[in-house]
Amino acid sequence: MAEHRVCPWWIGPLLASPVRRLVHDLARLLGPFVRAEMTALEPGPGMGFFTLELARLVGHEGRVVAVDVEPRMIAGLRRRAERAGLLDRIDTRVAPPATMALDACEGAFDFVLAFAVVHEMRSAETFFAEAARAMKPGASLLLVEPAGHVAESEFASALAFASRNGLKASDGPQIWRSRSTVLRKPQ
């Protein structure tokens, strides 16, 4: 995939705006994949637009791991999660730009949400290798990329990296102005 710049931290409040719910119906997007007691991974969560909903869906016994390269995004996510009473379900981590630093998480995740983030990674190949290792057998990864930033050929390249790491693609939900697919790790 072509290298793109990482979203600057000061865009975070716009991405976390409740107005965004007019475009992204969180229950419709996440509900089919996430349920109570699951462990979910969200790379590039920004200030937590999806993270807070993931935390609600996994419930008190579940866990969400949110990994970002930008400490100010993670700080904003933590503030929002604390105000919402959800911080105890969310493990926030600042990772270096080249990796999600998930070595201790092999086979830990039931669900991975990669929403508009893979095109910002230094290496889509590294991302899919790490994600596949971190996923439990039978786990799902919802891959969504903005059509305005990611060409069809780039998306196809990402899917090829996912396939090389054992993830099987199927149709994803229709998401406004986006390319999406669901990737599953075989049992």
pLDDT digits (tens, 9 = 90+) for 76-106: 999 999 999 999 999 999 999 999 999 999 9
Which pLDDT score is estimated for 176? 87
Compute, in degrees rounded to 10, the torsion defined by CA atoms 110, 113, 117, 122: 0
**Structure tokens given for 62:** 């579940």
Residue ranges of the domains in the chain? 35-184
Which pLDDT score is estimated for 149? 87
Q: Which letter, b or e, does each residue of 5-43 get, where b requires 16 or more Cβ atoms within 10 Å of its Cβ?
A: eebebeebeebbeeeeeeebebeebbeebbeeebbbbbb
Q: 35-184 — its CATH code?
A: 3.40.50.150
- Global pTM reads 0.91
What pLDDT digit, counting tens, does each position of 49-66 carry?
A: 999 999 999 999 999 999
Which pLDDT score is estimated for 127? 97
Which pLDDT score is estimated for 6? 66
- Which residues of the chain register pLDDT less than 70? 1-24
Instruction: Say which residues have a Cβ less than 8 Å from residue 16's Cβ, sequence separation at least 6.
Output: 46, 47, 48, 49, 76, 80
Which pLDDT score is estimated for 25? 84
Measured distance between the N- and C-terminal CA atoms of the chain, rounded to whole angstroms: 28
Which pLDDT score is estimated for 7? 67
Ramachandran area for residue 37 (φ above 0: left; ψ -120 to 50: alpha; else beta): left
